[in-house]
Amino acid sequence: MNRLAAKTPAILLALLVFTAGWATTANLLRLDVQPESKIRVEGTSSLHDWTCEVKAITGTFEAGAAPATTLEALSGVQITVPVSGLESKNGQMNKKAREALKANASPTIQYVMKSAQVQSPPAADGWTTLKATGTLKIAGVEKPVTLTVKGKEVGGGSYRFTGSTPLQMSDFGISPPTAMLGTLKTGDRVTIHFDVVAR
């Protein structure tokens, strides 16, 4: 047996693995988070309720090839938010919030979705309800999270995802920030609202 004949099975196996990987990548739909996406964080304090808004959001959505809609085939999501992008109407509270979130050591907040399941067929208005499971990393601490998300195709190859989830800051090792010599104390519980467009 000559050398070429001896190597042929190995060459064919390598080619098969390569083409299979290429096909999987080629059939994977990737969408990028768009600039109009928004995240809002709402909380309470001893003086008044407060809101922080985030507009500097980056990330990707991926959906595998399947005889189904893109929402049903959604397989992965990665969202990154810079802590410096959190903005309230109070400059002092912005500073305190970034300190509490340990911005120097952990400059970003990251969400990674690992799976999603359709909970109900599309409603009359086109929205589909999904149950998404994944992890959320804040201040260097990673925790599992389950979200109820509504998704909808909005035309032009774009999809919109909305929802909200409550969180306890202490679960991520965060001490709720204070201000005004301790007169203003924020509550431990916050609610994150998201309205994300991917294309």
Q: Provide the pLDDT confidence category of residue 199 given band limits of 50, 70 and 90.
A: very high
**Nearest Cα residue to 144 out of 133, 155, 152, 154:** 133
- The answer to whether the predicted template modeling score (pTM) of the entire model surpasses 0.85 is no
Q: How far apart (Å, rounded) are the C-alpha atoms in residues 49 and 1?
A: 80
Half-sphere exposure of 189 (CA within 13 A, CB side): 2
29-46, pLDDT tens digit by residue?
899 999 999 999 999 998
CATH number for the segment(s) 28-198 = 2.40.128.110
Say whether pLDDT at 181 is over 90: no
Q: What is the mean pLDDT of residues 48-73?
A: 85
Domain ranges of the chain: 28-198
**Nearest Cα residue to 108 out of 135, 91, 134, 86:** 86
Q: Write the single-letter amino acid at 64.
A: G
Q: What is the helix, strand, coil percentage profile of the chain, to 5?
A: 20, 50, 30
Say whether pLDDT at 102 is over 60: yes
Alpha helices in 2-150 (DSSP H): 3-26, 91-100
Dihedral angle sign, alpha carbons of residues 20, 113, 160, 59 = negative
**Nearest Cα residue to 96 out of 172, 165, 45, 38:** 45
**Nearest Cα residue to 152 out of 190, 124, 188:** 124
Do 127 and 153 meet the contact criterion of CB atoms below 8 Å apart? no
Q: Provide the pLDDT confidence category of residue 66 given band limits of 50, 70 and 90.
A: low
